[in-house]
Amino acid sequence: MKRMKRRQFVGGLAAAAGVTACARQDTGAPAGAAVTNQTFEWSVVTSWPPKFPGLGIAVDNLAEYIDRASAGRLKIKVYAGGELVPPFEVFDAVSRGTVEMGHGASYYHKGKVDAAQFFTSIPFGMTQLEMNGWIYYGGGLELWRELYEPFDLVPFMCGNTGVQMGGWFNKEINSVADLEGLKMRIPGLGGEVLRRAGGTPVTLPGSEIFTSLQTGAIDATEWVGPYNDVSFGLHQAAKYYYYPGWQEPGPALECIVNREAWDSLPADLKAIVEIACQAITTDMAAEYVNGNSNALRQLLDDPEVEVRAFPPDVIDYLKSITEEIIAELVAADPAAAKIHASYRAYLDKSADNQRISEQAFLQTRS
């Protein structure tokens, strides 16, 4: 059934791309006129383990959608993290033109492009629905492309896992004091928050998390949520599973394309890439709702696992640190200040709507 639905979707994708191409005119000629005798072979490098549920499979699906919708005119070979370039070097590889395309998360560029973190997730920030609204309709995509322009990159939102979990811990977190000395795998701004709370953030690719947690090289880790965490066996390496994922409430993933490669495509293939990325975002949301629901039931039934909420004072403390860090980032980086102004304005506008819609309804249902 899933395969059949995917075929039906790709057929619709091709038709939609054709309509889009024919509808746009430039100096009297169709901007999307297909160059039928011109084909392209690209490579995409990722930050994910090969064939990994959700994150990794999404890239395979992206390549398949584009291949079929373009009738084979744009073929993309997928390289998982470490197969061609290390998982955290996707940005550089695409920027240099070593490969044409990459898939990862923008907060992995912290220290290189600090403002990029707004386009993955900010602690206590936007949910998945709000990120979609901001990126597609609130000016976020334009700011994202402006930020990446000096690096010869064209970014697209391409996936979102939804609210993540707070992580797996080998000890209980009963108070702020329990964060002191905690060595935890946690990237992005969330890692800096932990540092200021007295912990030690560690950046690890997904493939190294289980062994590091099992051997005691780290005391805790956040990864994604039940769906991916169970597939990694993290419940076999730690006992305490904390929520909510304050550090990643709506983490968007990115597809980045080298500017020269992008400019080489005719308009109809550009439309196919753009629509396929948006389709992956929609499909991944559905996959994670389903996968997390199934995996969480398994964890709740496991007598060796304790699913716990963070104490309110811990959450309040982490939130206060987050606000300090963002204020410092904005003060030091004009690009971050510009993006944050848009991000914050959209979040403030959305909060009222969420309060009387999603939030209010879920409270009544529970």
Domain ranges of the chain: 2-160+250-289
d(CA 99, CA 91): 10
Q: pLDDT tens for residues 199-235?
A: 999 999 999 999 999 999 999 999 999 999 999 999 9
Q: Is the peptide bond before 244 cis (omega within 30 degrees of 0)?
A: yes
- Residue 44's Cβ-side half-sphere holds a number of Cα atoms within 13 Å equal to 29
Residues 6+ apart with CB under 8 A from 147: 113, 115, 116, 119, 335, 339
Average pLDDT of 70-90?
Answer: 97
CA separation, residue 77 to residues 62, 176, 281, 335, 360 (Å): 11, 47, 20, 34, 45
Q: What is the pLDDT of residues 157-197, one digit of tens each?
A: 999 999 999 999 999 999 999 999 999 999 999 999 999 99
- Give the CA-trace dihedral at 309, 314, 315, 319, to 10 degrees: -160
Within a 10 A sphere around the Cβ of 210, how many other Cβ atoms? Answer: 19
Strand order in the sheet with 183-185: 200-202, 183-185, 220-221, 167-169, 240-243, 306-309
- Could you please report the per-residue DSSP string of 270-324? HHHHHHHHHHHHHHHHHHHHHHHHHHHHHHHT-TT-EEEEPPHHHHHHHHHHHHH
DSSP 107: G
Contact 121, 280 (CB under 8 A): no
Lowest mean pLDDT among 32-36, 106-110, 207-211, 342-346: 32-36
Residues 6+ apart with CB under 8 A from 149: 259
pLDDT of residue 3: 43
What pLDDT shows up at residue 16? 46
With the C-alpha atoms ordered 81, 85, 87, 91, is the resulting torsion angle positive or negative? negative
Position 366 scores a pLDDT of: 82
Ramachandran bin of 27, using left for φ above 0, alpha for ψ from -120 to 50, beta for the remaining angles: left
* pLDDT for residue 335: 98
Q: How far is CA 155 from CA 25, 123, 317, in A?
A: 24, 22, 34
Name the band, by pLDDT with cuts 50, 70 and 90, for residue 29. very low
Q: Return the pLDDT at 32.
A: 47
pLDDT beyond 50 at 27: no
Is the pLDDT assigned to residue 70 strictly greater than 80? Answer: yes
Handedness of CA 16, 18, 23, 24 (dihedral sign): positive
The predicted pLDDT at position 59 comes to 97
Determine the average pLDDT of the residues in 247-257. 97
- 255 versus 5: the higher-pLDDT residue is 255
User: Which residues are paired to 103 by β-bridges?
Assistant: 46, 255
The residue behind tokens 């392209």 is: 40
Compute the distance between CA of residue 177 and CA of residue 133 in angstroms, rounded to an integer: 38
Model pLDDT, residue 18:
47
- Does residue 31 carry a pLDDT above 80? no
pTM of the model: 0.89
Lowest mean pLDDT among 18-27, 100-109, 276-285: 18-27
pLDDT of residue 37: 77
Amino acid at the residue 290: N
At residue 2 the predicted structure's pLDDT band, cuts being 50, 70 and 90, is very low
- Taking the C-alpha atoms of 177, 182, 186 and 187 in order, what is their torsion angle to the nearest 10 degrees? 90
* DSSP string computed for 122-173: -TT---HHHHHHHHHHSSHHHHHHHHHGGGTEEEEEEEE--S---EEESS--
The CATH homologous superfamily of the domain defined by 2-160+250-289: Bacterial extracellular solute-binding protein, family 7 (3.40.190.170)
Beta-carbon contacts of residue 13 (< 8 Å; ≥ 6 apart): 65, 69, 272, 275, 276, 279
Tally of CB atoms within 10 A around 92: 15
In the predicted model, is pLDDT for residue 364 greater than 70? Answer: yes
User: What is the average pLDDT value for the chain, to the nearest integer?
Assistant: 92
Distance CA 106, CA 116 (A): 5
Joined tokens for residue 289: 């709702």
